[in-house]
Structure 1
Amino acid sequence: MEQFHLIIVTGMSGAGKTHVVQVLEDIGYFCIDNIPPVLIPKFAELCIQGGERVRHVALVADIRGGQFFDAMSQSLKELKEQGVSYEIVFLEANDRVLVRRYKETRRVHPLAPHNRISQGIAEERLKLAELREEADFIIDTSNMKPGELKEVLKKKFAISERGKGLSVMVVSFGFKHGLPIDADIVEDVRFLPNPFYIEAYRHKSGRVPVVRDYIEGFPITQTFMRKWFDMVDFLLPNYEREGKSQLVIAVGCTGGLHRSVCMAEAMYRHLKKNGMDVAIEHRDIEKNDVEEDVSDDEKL
C-alpha cells in the first residue's frame, strides 16, 4: 500500500496559500482549506483508515482559525505520536508585497480588522515564528509569478512522478546578500555588462525586456550563454546517472537584480525547451530599489 502523505500548508496571510491549495488539488491531492488544527490528527486517522482512496492530503491551517490555531503545536505532537508522517509548507512574502496585495484586494487583515495592515502583519509574524522554524519547506512568494510557484510545487510534491528523474531549480541571487546555502552549482555573472550604470535601467529588473535585451546584446554574453548551456547540458545527465534527484543552479551578480535575473531566466528557458523538469526563483529582487519588474497581473 502506498504510504499516506500529509502536507500542512500554513504561513502569512496574503502569501499565496489559496493558490498553493489549488495547485495541489490539480495534481491529485485531497485538499481542505482553513481546518482547525485540533481536528488534524483525527482527520489524518480517518484518511489512513480509508485505504487507497485518500493517500495524498493537503490541509491549510493558519491564523484565520483564531483561538483554534493555538492548538497547532499539540496537534503536531499528536501526529508524531500516531506515527503519521507530514510535511509543513510555510508561505511567506516581504511586508511591502503583503501590504500591496491587501490593498489591491481590499481585504482586511485577520489580526488588524480596525488597525493598519502593517500592524497585523507584524503580529502575525510573531505568532507564526515558532511554526516557521518547524517548517520543512519555506516558499517566499514575493517575486514569484503564479506559474513559477506552480512549477515549484509540482516539482516538490508531484504524485505520479515522485522520485523519477532529475529536477532542477534555477535561483538568481546577489552576492552581497550571501550565497544560497543549498546551491549545487554557482555561476558568477558579475563579468557581464551591468545595466546598473545605465540610469534608465538602474531600477528595472533583468526580467524587463529592455534590460534583458541590453545584457544579451553583447557578444560576451552570447558567447558565455553558449558555453554555459553546453556545460550544464553535459553535467545534468551525468548527475542523474549518479542518482541525484534534485539540483540547484544558483546564478549570482552583485545585487541580484539585473544580470543574475536575466541569466537565470535564460537558463530556465533553455532547460524548459529541452524538456527538463525545471523551476525558477529570484531570491533577492525585492532587496533592491525596484521600479519595474513584471506586470502586476503576472504576480500572485
Structure 2
Amino acid sequence: MTSSPLSPSRHVVLVTGMSGAGKTTVLKAFEDLGFEALDNVPLSLLPNIVAPPSDVFSDTTQAPRPIAVGVDIRTRDFAADTFIRQWRVLCAQPGVQVKVLFVNCGDEELVRRYTETRHRHPLAIDLPVLDGIRLERGLISPLLDITDIHLDTTGDTPYDVKSFLDHAFGDEHTDAGMAIFVTSFSFRKGLPRDADLVFDVRFLRNPHYDPHLKPLTGLDPGVQAYIEDDTEFAGFFANLSALLEPMVTRFETEGKSYLTIAVGCTGGKHRSVFVAEKLAAWLGTHHNRIRLAHRDMPTDAQAHVGPEQKPEQQQGNGKTS
C-alpha cells in the first residue's frame, strides 16, 4: 500500500561525508531533534527502512517520524555510485522527501583528530592517516553532486553542530521555509567552505585605522556610524538588498532548505560584522528563519551592543570553518 497524495511525507536525511568529520555527533543531534537516527545501514536496505508505514493500522493523518541515516565508507557495500543509485530509488518513493547532508572537515584538523584519539582511519590501516583521508575524498567526491546541505565542522564544537542542525532541520516536518545563515569572516583566515554566496566589503572605509574605533567591533554603534558615513555605503546596501531579494525568493521556490551568505573583510572584526548584522536584520523582515554568526570576530574585543532585538546570534565560531 503506497501513500496517497494527501498522506504526510516522511522526511529522510542521508548523512554522509568524511570519516572523523563528526557524523556520530550529527546523528546524536538529530536524535535530540526527534529524528530516528540509524548508522551504518547497508545501502541495499535503505528503501525498506525509510519507507513510510504502510499497514492498515498506521495513522495516515500523522506525519511519520523523520529519520536520519548515516552512510559512509564503513558501511557494508558502500560505493559512491551505489549510494547515488539508492538515493534515486528513495527520491522516487511516494511519500518520501530525501535530503543529503555531507559532513566535511579540513585535512589538517582530521589528521589532528585521528592523532589525538589514536583511532585508525578506515582506509589507512597500513598507511599514514593523511593518505587515507585523501583516498577517501577521492572515493566519495561524486556525492557532492547530489548534496543538499554541506556542513563543514572544521573548528566547530558539538554545540556548534547541534545549533546548525537545530536551525536547518528543527522544523523539518513543517513548512517553516528556507533557513538562512549569515556569517561575517576574515579573508585572512579563508573563505567559509560552505558559503553559497560571498560578498567582499573591503572597499568600505576601514575603522581599523581610527585609534578610537580599532579596539571595537562592528557591533559598536560608533563603528557602525563610521561605516555608514562612507558615501558609497547607502548605494552599496541598496544594491545588495535588491540583488538578494529575488535570489533568495528563487532559491526557496526551487526547494533549497538552507542558504549560507558570507560577508568578508580583511580582519573579520569591523566592516563585515556590521554589514552581516544589517543584512541579517533586513532579511529578518522577509524571512522567519535567520541565524547570524561572526566567525572571526575576537570574542574579547570591546563591544557595546545596542538594545534592539537581533536575529539569533552566535559570536566567534558558528557553523563555518
Superposition TM-score tier, normalisation by shorter sequence: 0.5 to 0.7
Paired with 2:65 and 2:173, the residues of 1 have a C-alpha distance of 15
Q: 1:60 aligns with which of 46, 70, 83?
A: 70
Paired with 1:72 and 1:248, the residues of 2 have a C-alpha distance of 26
Residues 1:75 and 2:86 aligned together: yes
RMSD: 4.8
Distance of aligned partners of 1:17 and 1:181 in 2 relative to their CA distance in 1, 3 Å threshold: closer
Residues 1:188 and 2:197 aligned together: no
Distance of aligned partners of 1:113 and 1:283 in 2 relative to their CA distance in 1, 3 Å threshold: farther
TM-superposed deviation, 1:2: 1.8
Task: Look up the match of 1:15.
Answer: 21
TM-superposed deviation, 1:104: 2.1
State the Cα deviation string for residues 159-215 of structure 1 (Å, max 9, x = none): 3773337744112345697798744x947255465879xxxxxxxxxxxxxxx9454
Bigger Cα displacement from structure 2, 126-135 vs 186-195: 186-195
Paired with 2:181 and 2:191, the residues of 1 have a C-alpha distance of 18
Residues 1:138 and 2:140 aligned together: no
Paired with 2:25 and 2:33, the residues of 1 have a C-alpha distance of 13
Task: Look up the match of 1:106.
Answer: 118
SS in structure 2 of the partner of residue 54 of structure 1: coil
State the Cα deviation string for residues 228-275 of structure 1 (Å, max 9, x = none): 9xx99xx8xxx7xx9897775532113x6554675588779999xxxx
TM-score by length of 1: 0.67
Letter aligned with residue 151 of structure 2: I
Distance of aligned partners of 1:154 and 1:294 in 2 relative to their CA distance in 1, 3 Å threshold: closer
Paired with 1:263 and 1:46, the residues of 2 have a C-alpha distance of 46
Which 5+ residue runs of structure 2 have no aligned equivalent? 1-6, 253-257, 283-287, 298-314
Task: Look up the match of 1:117.
Answer: 129
Letter aligned with residue 11 of structure 1: G
Task: Look up the match of 2:35.
Answer: 29
TM-superposed deviation, 1:113: 2.0
State the Cα deviation string for residues 102-161 of structure 1 (Å, max 9, x = none): 222222111112321101100110110111221111111114333333232222212377
TM-superposed deviation, 1:216: 5.6
Contact 1:27 1:154 in 2 (8 A): yes
Task: Look up the match of 2:225.
Answer: 223
Residues 1:154 and 2:163 aligned together: no
Residues 1:5 and 2:11 aligned together: yes
Paired with 1:282 and 1:165, the residues of 2 have a C-alpha distance of 23
SS in structure 1 of the partner of residue 40 of structure 2: coil
Contact 1:148 1:280 in 2 (8 A): no
Letter aligned with residue 110 of structure 1: P
TM-score by length of 2: 0.63
SS in structure 2 of the partner of residue 69 of structure 1: coil
Task: Look up the match of 2:306.
Answer: none
Distance of aligned partners of 1:278 and 1:48 in 2 relative to their CA distance in 1, 3 Å threshold: farther
Contact 2:100 2:147 in 1 (8 A): yes
Residues 1:42 and 2:48 aligned together: yes
SS in structure 2 of the partner of residue 58 of structure 1: strand
Letter aligned with residue 112 of structure 1: A
Structure with the larger helix share: 1
Letter aligned with residue 75 of structure 1: Q
Contact 1:33 1:60 in 2 (8 A): yes
SS in structure 1 of the partner of residue 51 of structure 2: helix
Aligned residues: percent identity?
Answer: 28
Paired with 2:167 and 2:280, the residues of 1 have a C-alpha distance of 16
SS in structure 1 of the partner of residue 99 of structure 2: strand
Paired with 2:168 and 2:205, the residues of 1 have a C-alpha distance of 32
Contact 1:14 1:101 in 2 (8 A): yes
Letter aligned with residue 32 of structure 1: L
